[in-house]
Every structure is written in structure tokens, then in C-alpha cells.
Amino acid sequence: MASSGAAGSTNLTVNPDQRRDVAPIPLEGGYGSYETGRTGNRDLSLSLLWRVAYEWRWLILATIGVALAGAVLITLLTPLKYRSTASLELNPPQVAILNDESSKGERQNAASDANFTGTQLNLLNSRALALRVAQDLNLASDPAIVGEGTDRNANTETAAGFVQSGTKVRLQPQSLIVNVSFVARDPGLAARVVNGIADAYIATSIERRYQSSSYARDFLQRQIANTRRDLEKSERQLTAYAQQQRLISTGAGTADTASDTNSLTGNSLVALNNALATTQARRIAAEQRYREAMIGGSTTEISANAAPLRAQIAALDAEYQQKLRTFRPDYPDMVALRARIDALRASVQSETRSAKADRAGSLRQDYLAAQAEENRLRAQVASLSNSVLDQRGKRIRYNILQRDVDTNRTLYDALLQRYKEIGVAGGIGTAIASVVDRGQVPGGAFSPNLYLNLLIGALLGLIVGMLAALALEFINDTIKSPEDVRNKLNLAFLGGIPDAKAAKPVDELKDPLSPVAEAYLSTATAMQFVTEGGAPKTLLVTSTRPAEGKSTSAWALAHSFTRLGKTVLMIDADMRRPAFVTGRENIGLSHILTNTGSLSEHVLRTDVENLWIMPSGTIPPSPPELLASARFASLLADAAATFDIVVVDGPPILGLADSPLLSTVVQATLMVVESGRTRTRAATEAQNRMRTAGAHMIGAILTRYQAQAAYGYGYGYGQKQDQYRYVADDNNKKRRIMLAVQDEE
């Protein structure tokens, strides 16, 4: 088909929508079009870190080596240091605010208060304690510490700074044990200072406690003296007022319990009131007896006086009744007996009347006397009541003064009792801390630690090396990996082309198993899926700048398409710096565009089967004018109808109008990017120019691409004894073992 197409020239009409009949390029997350002007993300990821580490591995290794050498040098130059540690147990004070059961919770709160431990840790590392240790141990006279100075005060301050700077305090977790360590160049000095710190701390805490109790005693003494003066003053005022108002209290009641009965007038009023009640009761009883006597009722005394007469009357009456049985009433003896009885009855009546009169007179006298006594006592009670009411008003002031006296006396007693308690408890109690383990003379130096310094040096070297590599990576903002193609250029990654081992990369294409040939074949295979109909019929291969492998990639892709069974025409459209030289004159793209020749007259067969080439021809004065002509569009349509695939090698994008013009008449455009050298900004700008012209960008390939730098592994195929073997970085030994087994079989 290609031979017949090349033999005769046919003028084909160009379908204006031919270059648009392309399936959308598969993007991450679905199908869609690319945005122009996006530069992608620069977020750190493991793949980026690994690629940067591999690419700059020698810089990182050199940084680690320098850091290790520095660690060794520092270890050798650092003087030996010795550390001695003492252990102290903190004893939080148990303070009872109230002497009852409610104070137990306060003791527990004081024991569990974290502020206490924090305070003690700060005291252990305080300047005052360091100064006391320096004075106790006479460190100011040690030339190794203070030098050759003669000022005692300055030397003491220097020694205190030496103690404070070398002291480290650490609280053991979940305990009240504090480890106090001191670092010095002399092991004996380290043990002596750390023990001096422990002793000085305990002594200082005891002195501080005594000073605090002494201050409390002084304060209480001043308060007691003031309260005593107030008590004496209030007592004097109370006594003076009582004398002035002539108030005499008979009880010992306080201002709250004092009443009217505590005074003499009150006592007299109570006594008179009791006497009045008794007299009133006696008067009532006399009046009752008098009224009964006046009514006429018999009394016991009257009955006693008339009793003999009544007995005689009863005897004579009995005799009269007895004789009445025998004699008649008019019998003289009976009449004489009746007369005697009547005479006796008259005597009884007379006696009774006389007794009543005497009894009534006596009761009346008793009644009147009782009533007079009652009236007298009532008058005295009324008089004393007025006096008591008058004293009650005067006692209001007296009660106020009495209450002041009681209050001052209570306060005075409480302060005096508290003063006695502080005086007894001021010198006793548990120490605020106790020594658990005293510091021992260390047997060896703890610093410098060679292994620790080497580890720190290696980590610092690795960190600095990685930071330097990342800085260089970000400064050198180029396209290096498939992620950069996708994220920075927003293009599909179609293939990575490794460096060619031969002087001419085209020569490696002759070996179908070479890495370069396999990479281009993989790219050509991937391009089979960029459109619905397979690979694009017309493909423009261009790059951002010169020398990125654009022409080599165009030839290699055309060669790879022939391996897939396609007939391919290679057009060298770079009429400024042609890459393909045929040695034929008057043949090429510039000639066919300026003359009326046919396609077959300017197409040459190559040594590759099914691959033809149209050279650029003579360099014209204005290539963009030729490429923008309708003649070029017609030529390209004729070539697409004759060959399966037409690959156009265009000039670079930046600074030239050729590639944007070419992109308007081809079906798809492929960008060639040199890995590690093409700047992101330049590639983005080139892509934006192509998209502005309406180019359909199907993706990009990376030339001089190192897969191992991007992914950490590489692969290739080799042939040995008509067999293929797979080669990988870390799996060579495993693969060889498998081959050996297969060979033995």
C-alpha cells in the first residue's frame, strides 16, 4: 500500500476536522481535558524523597562522611567529663489548718500537690543554694574553678555559677525521688559537690522552716500585745460605766446572758414579787373564810362548843321516847322532860349564835390585815418595776461594753494558745527531704560518647545532605520523573527513554532488545490507546528547546511503529536545522511546498522496512509561511491517506512559530522532554503556546531518563543461548539461581 502510494502522486483534500477526531486522553480520576497554565504540586512524597536521595546520593554520602569525621574530631577534642548522682526523697509537709476531722483532706491535698515538687526542684537548682555550696566547700579557693583571681567575692560568684551550671535535677516518674547529678572534669570534685548540694539543701530547708516559725512567733507576739491592750481598755470602760450608773450585778453572766435579775434592784423586785404572791394567796383564803362565816355555815369551832349540850339533848330525847311508850305526853313527868329538852335546845341555839358572831369578827380582821399587806407589797413592786425599767435602758451600753470585753478575752486566749502551739512545734517535725543515696566517685567518664556522637553525626549528616539535596532539587526546577510530567505539565506520561550506550542512539534501534529500542517500542505501544482508532494518523514530535532528543525520538517512534506492522512516513519539518540529510537535491518538504511536485517524488525509502522519509529540503527564507500554506495541509492529508502513520519532526516550540503552526494541521502532538535539564517554567510556557494554537497534546516522553533514580530499580533484557534473562538490581543473585536450576533441568 505504501509503495503504490509513493509511486503515484494524488492530490487529496484535507478534512478540516480530521485532527480533532481523537479520543480524550485518560487522566487521573477519569477522562477530561488539561488545564493550561498549571505548574503542578511540589508536595514532598516518599517517591520524591527517594528520587532526590538517589539522584544526589553522592552529595548526601559526602555530607554524612564529613559529619562522621566531625563527630570523631569533636570526640577527640572534647575533654573527659565525670558525673556523680545523689538521690533525695522529698517529704511534703502535712499542715493541719483545723484540729478536727475536716483537716484530713487538707493534709492529703498538701501531700499530693504538684506545686510542692516543682518548688523543690527549682530550689535545688537555685542560685542561692549554689552560692551556699560554694561557700561550704570553699570552692572559691580552687584555681581550677575560679582561675587566678584574688577578689574573694568575685571568686565566690564564679564558683556558684560553676555549681549551678553543672547541676542537673530530675524527678523520677511516679515518685518523690529526685536525682541530683553534677558534672565535672574531676571525679572526686563531682562527688564532693553533689553531696554538698544535698546537705546544703536539707540544711537550708530546716533553716527556712525555723525562720518561718520564728516570724510566726514574732507576729503572734505583736498581735497578743495589741489584743491585751484592747482587753484591758474594754474592761476599764466597763467598770467605769458600771460605777457611773451605779449598776451592781449579782451574777457572773456575760453580755449575752445578763438580765434584770443580776442587779440588786432586780433581786429585790423578785423577792417582793414572790412575797406579793404569797400575801395575795393568804388574802384570798381569809376572804373566802370570812364569806363562808357570813353566809352562816357551821364551823368546826362552833360544833365543838355545843357538843355537850347536844349530847344531853340526845339523851333526854331518847329517854322521852322510851317513856312515851308508857306515859302520855301530858303526863307531868313527860311535860317536865319535854321542858328540859326545849331548854337545852334553846341553850344550843344561843351558843351557836354567839360563836358565829365571834368567828365572823376574827375572820374579818384576818381578811383586812391580809388585804392591807397585799396593797403595801403591790405598791413596792410597782416602785421597783419602774427602777428596773430605768436600769434596763442603762444596761444596753453596759452589755455592749461587756460584749467587747468577752470578744477581746476570747481573741486573746486563742492567740495565746496558738503561740504556745507554734513554740512547741517550731523545732520538731520531719525534714523536708532526706538522702537516699549519696553521690559516689564515678569510675569512668560519661562524656564524650563516641558511638553516640557518631550516631548524631550520621543523622545530622543525613538531614543536612537531604536538605541540601532538596534545596538543589527545588532550585533546579526541572522535569525529572513521570510524576513531574503528570503534576507539573498535566500531560500523560507515555514513556521514559534511557541514555543510549552507543555514540549514535539511532544505531541502538537496530538491536530490538536494547533498552532504547524497548523503551521506544513501549511508547509506540502506549500511543495505540490515545485515540479511539488507535495511534494518531498524523503525529507531531516537538520539544521545548533544541537538543532534547526530539529528532531521534521522532525517528525511533517511526521505526517502532514499523515493528508494529505499520507503514510510516517520516517528515522532517524542521526547515531551520534539519536533522536528516539524504544527499539528494531538489527533494524534500521545502521543494514540494514551493513547487507542484507530487508526494511520491519527494519521499525516499529507508533501510528500515515500511519506513519512508521526506527530508526538509533546501532551507527556505521563511519556513512559517510554507507551513501555514494550504499546500502543506493538502500534503499532510495526502500522506495520511497513503501511509498508516505520518510522523512529523517539528522544530522546538519556544521562540519559533513553526511547531504551533504544525500542531494545527496534525491530529496529535507529542512533547519530548529531556529529563533533568528542561526547566518546568519553560516546558509549561511551551505547552501553553501549543494549547493556545489549538494543539491536541496527547502526552510527553522523557529522554535520558533514569528509571532507577525515580523508582529505585531498573530492568532490561539480555539474550544468552537463545533464552531471555531478566536483570534487576537487587535480585540478580536470585535470578541466577533460577537460571541455574533451569539449566540443570
| pLDDT digit string, tens, across residues 293-312 | 666 544 455 556 667 777 88
For residue 152, what is its C-alpha cell? 574573694
Task: Encode pLDDT of 312-363 as tens digits.
Answer: 888 888 877 887 778 778 878 788 878 888 877 777 777 676 666 666 667 7
| pLDDT grade for 61, boundaries at 50, 70 and 90 | very high
Q: How far apart are CA 699 and CA 3, in angstroms?
A: 31
Span between the terminal Cα atoms of the chain, in Å: 48
Give the least confident one: 31-35, 279-283, 559-563, 584-588.
31-35
Q: What is the pLDDT of residue 355?
A: 64
CA 404 to chain centre: 56
Residue 341 and residue 333 in contact, taking contact as beta carbons nearer than 8 Å: no
Q: What residue type is assigned to position 425 of the chain? A: A
Query: What mean pLDDT is predicted for residues 267-286?
Result: 74
- Pick from 539, 561, 523: nearest CA to 703: 523
Specify which residues 685 forms β-bridges with: none
Task: Encode pLDDT of 604-660 as tens digits.
Answer: 998 899 999 999 888 888 889 888 888 889 999 999 999 999 999 999 998 888 889
Q: What is the pLDDT of residue 249?
A: 56
- Pick from 518, 525, 515, 517: nearest CA to 494: 525
Among the residues of 325-428, which ranges form H helices? 332-425
Length, in residues, of the chain: 745
Which of 180-194, 324-338, 346-360, 439-453 has the highest mean predicted lDDT (pLDDT)? 180-194
CATH superfamily membership of 2-40+488-714: P-loop containing nucleotide triphosphate hydrolases (3.40.50.300)
CA neighbours within 13 Å on the CB side: how many for 216?
18
pTM: 0.45
For residue 494, what is its C-alpha cell? 507515555
Residue 723: strand, helix, or coil: strand
For residue 552, what is its C-alpha cell? 531521534
> CA quadruple 271, 272, 277, 281: dihedral positive or negative?
positive
| pLDDT grade for 15, boundaries at 50, 70 and 90 | very low
> CA quadruple 324, 329, 333, 338: dihedral positive or negative?
positive
The CATH number of domain 82-208+432-437, selected from 3.40.50.970, 3.40.50.300, 3.40.50.10540, 3.30.70.1130: 3.30.70.1130
Q: What is the pLDDT of residue 460?
A: 94
Specify which residues 85 forms β-bridges with: 181
For residue 600, what is its C-alpha cell? 511520491
Q: How far apart are CA 554 and CA 471, in angstroms?
A: 35
What number of other Cβ atoms are within 10 A of residue 447's Cβ? Answer: 14
Q: How far apart are CA 80 and CA 443, in angstroms?
A: 12
Q: How far apart are CA 330 and CA 312, in angstroms?
A: 22
Q: What are phi and psi of 31, to 5 degrees?
A: -95, 145
Residue 239: strand, helix, or coil: helix
Helix (H) or strand (E) holding 323: helix 307-324
Percent of the chain with pLDDT over 90: 22
The answer on pLDDT for 176 being more than 60 is yes
- Pick from 236, 173, 54: nearest CA to 710: 54
